[in-house]
Structure 1
Amino acid sequence: ILIRYSPKWSILEIVRLLKQLTTYRMWQKHNEYLSQHFWKERAFWSDGYFSCSIGNVSKEIILKYIQEQGR
């Protein structure tokens, strides 16, 4: 995920919010299916995360890097 954010937010706050919102929305949209597989906890995400800043690299290079992940 490539995002631009205000310096008033910490990376931890952004990651926490993204994890909370995506988990909530997934359960909201797919509750019946997910209940069959996630009967103990309603969690999708691990506790950790990785982040880095792009520094002097262009946005286009970062987007290409992201798009090629997993190939």
Structure 2
Amino acid sequence: MEYTSKNHSKFLLMAHLIFVCKYRKPLLVALGNDVKSLISSIAKKYSFKIIEMEVDKDHIHLLLSYEPKMSILEVVRLLKQITTYHLWKERTFWSDGYFACSVGNASKEIIQAYIQNQG
């Protein structure tokens, strides 16, 4: 992926997210395509990009890039709240937690070596 440049910043922020259905119910067998469509429209509206997305019977994996004006918590809240509202109305669709892992183009070792070689 390439860095994004704005007026006063240059960035590449990516995260791997996993959301699990409440009680590990296999809800995504029937609703997987609807969830993917909703998530794509949410991403477009709120200016983050879905790089990869795939559902299993009871959870979904997302690889997304986002701007520094949003925290990963804001992204998670938007996705979980809006998909729950549209698909499930009064009941909880997702479990309370989530998995998030930052992803970048360089490993920890490469960044450490870069910092050590400054100056």
TM-score, normalised relative to structure 1: 0.54
Gaps of 5+ in 2: 1-61, 107-119
Q: CA deviation at 1:56?
A: 2.4
For the pair shown, the structure with the greater C-alpha radius of gyration is 2
Query: 1:6-45 alignment to 2 at 5 Å?
Result: 6-27=67-88, 42-45=91-94
What are the ranges of 5 or more consecutive residues in structure 1 without an aligned counterpart?
A: 29-40, 58-71
Which letter does structure 1 place at the counterpart of 2:74? E
Q: Give aligned pairs, total.
A: 45
Deviation, structure 1 residue 54: 1.6
What displacement does 1:20 show? 0.7
Describe the shift of the 1:46–1:53 C-alpha distance in structure 2 as closer, same or farther (beyond 3 A): same
Give the SS at the match of 1:3.
strand
Superposition CA RMSD, Å: 1.9
Query: Letter of the aligned partner of 2:81 in structure 1?
Result: Q
The AA in structure 2 aligned to 1:13 is E
4+ long deviations beyond 4 Å: none
User: How many Å apart are 1:12 and its aligned residue?
Assistant: 0.8
The normalised TM-score by structure 2 is 0.34
Could you say which residue in structure 1 is the equivalent of 2:64? 3
Structure 1 residue 45: deviation in Å? 1.1
* Higher RCO (CA < 8 A, seq sep 6+): 1
Partner residue of 2:101 out of 28, 49, 52: 52
